[in-house]
Amino acid sequence: MRKTIDSSGSASSREPQNWHAIDWHLVERFVRTTQQRIAKATQEKDWRRVKALQRSLNHSFSARALAVRRVTENQGKRTAGVDRQLWDSPALKWAAIGRLKQQRGYRAKPLRRVYIPKSNGKERPLGIPTMFDRAMQALHLLSLEPVAETTSDPNSYGFRKHRSTADAMGQIFVCTSKKASAEWVLEADIEGCFDHINHEWLVRHVPMNKTILRKWLKAGVIHKGRLSPTEEGTPQGGIISPTLANICLNGLESDLLAHLVAQHGITRARNLKINVIRYADDFVVTGNSQELLHNEIRPWIEAFLAQRGLRLSLEKTKVVHMDRGFDFLGWNFRKYKGKLLIKPSKKNVQAFYRKVREIVRKNISMKQANLIAKLNSVLRGWAQYHRTVVAKEAFSRMDSLIYWRLARWARRRHPNKPLSWCIGRYWQRTKDRSEFAANVKVAESSCTIKLLKLADTKIVRHVKIKKEYNPFDPQWEKYGEELRTKRMANSMSYKYETSMLFISQNGRCALCAKPLDYQGKWHDHHIVRRVDGGSDAMSNRVLLHPVCHTQLHALGLSVVKPASKKALRSISLEATE
């Protein structure tokens, strides 16, 4: 029997019998619709309806399936908790969906403690939940996120959909770039934000199942075989922890502005030029005077944080003038003769160079082509991050430092040869410049792989997201799609062919027709497999979600791509059962 699945993703109305039989298009549509209803009820402050919709979503098959899919596709899918269990097969994933249905009597297991190094030499503690606890957190996050997004401060940019550090940078530019803008900035940092949040405050104010939330918070941690209780904080490493931290800090902007209006009146409060820009637990506050920020704003913020069990870091919190500048999210913001310039911070540049130097130092015997591939991924990511600011000078200087680092790498490989001989071996002359490049044989032909030149990166102004944007409000749907498509195209400027595939598919998966997330991952699928003689031509490739790609192969589906450009938006799939 033959079955046809069109680009809408509808396949069959019958209940799925296994993991690969799940219709992800219908699953995501149901969850999305319910989340929109939760967001609408939140806007109307109908908290009774919010609670009812959250309960309905948490017990639905669709939400449970999405929760399992999330924890088995993210970066931590191969990291086990204290029970050492992983869900690495379709059968285990399917069984997990059934287990999530039994939420009554749920008990969270302790977290597995691991430490990762920080840039200042200290260590950051992470708590790794078990797979089942992660899935339970992902499940409840689906119903909590619409509430958190709807009630968040307008200029909060960390751990929120379609918001990034570049958006926070853009808002700082808007608030400080003009001649009449605020001249003083309170650069603040919360000391151990995730580790010190008050549990009782979270239980009272987070709109979700209080019993389950308390069990997560009080689960305890195991390190070196020893169980320790958790009396405060939400563990870094938990899926729901960033959202809990955002809810904890919501009001830092809106409540402060309301306080100023109550104290000074609307007109005078506006003239104070107070703006709060926050990314996770790092934030800055602008103002028109040093005294205002130090004597009124800072004490209010300290009182606000104290209610939540938090406090400002004394060593990282300070009031600075824009002529002196400040560092935030890897950039330096400073006015030069009244003109604001945003550059990569000195600390960020030094940390990046140390990373590149370490890669080169540890791979002295690696083939040149492999070293280039390893370096290019790092260089491309750093260039992508800083391409929206004044970074040409930093890019050129880094290119120069990397050149001499690679020259030393070549000399170490051939200690008896002069530098000129090493340069002639590992550098190739193309047009008017010399490039670190290697020839690689692919099948019966050869190609040249080159080291990326940071100075070739085009500086492109970032289009800041509108602060009122809500991804769960249908009124913003069109704006969100346009923004996502534009950012996807810009983020793939180094991958022209993939960008063209994305645009030709209208930014949607060829199987389920759902949007390809520019912050997520996708698979480049060959219609005719390369082992069967298929080529790498764009006409033989489509972009798929990872889960859709797995489903396609598991069910024996094949993609048929129409020849006409107009038909690219309607990808037909045929399967034989």
What are the pLDDT digits (tens) for 153-211? 999 999 998 899 999 999 999 999 999 999 999 999 898 888 899 999 999 999 999 99
pLDDT at 491 over 80: no
Segment 292-320 mean pLDDT: 94
Range in 191-195, 454-458, 467-471 the model is least confident about = 191-195
Give the helix/strand (H/E) hosting 423.
helix 419-426
Distance (Å, whole) CA 515 – CA 505: 10
Distance of CA 73 to the CA centre of its chain: 14
538 compared with 266, residue with greater pLDDT: 266
What are the pLDDT digits (tens) for 410-454? 999 999 999 999 999 999 988 788 999 998 876 666 788 899 999
Helix-helix angle 61-71:131-151, to 10 degrees: 110
Return the pLDDT at 172.
96
pTM, two decimal places: 0.84
Distance (Å, whole) CA 472 – CA 417: 63
Q: E-strand spans in 307-394?
A: 318-321, 326-328, 331-336, 339-344
- The residues, ordered by sequence, that sit 6+ positions from 424 with a Cβ below 8 Å of its Cβ are none
Total residue count of the chain as it appears in this document:
577
- For residue 214, give both structure tokens: 């308390």
Number of alpha carbons in the 13 Å side-chain half-sphere of residue 536: 4
pLDDT at 125 over 50: yes
What are the pLDDT digits (tens) for 268-302? 999 999 999 999 999 999 999 999 999 999 999 99
DSSP string, 203-264: HHHS-S-HHHHHHHHTS-EEETTEEE---S---BTBTTHHHHHHHHHTTTTHHHHHHHHHHH
Return the pLDDT at 572.
36
Distance of CA 272 to the CA centre of its chain: 34
199 compared with 505, residue with greater pLDDT: 199
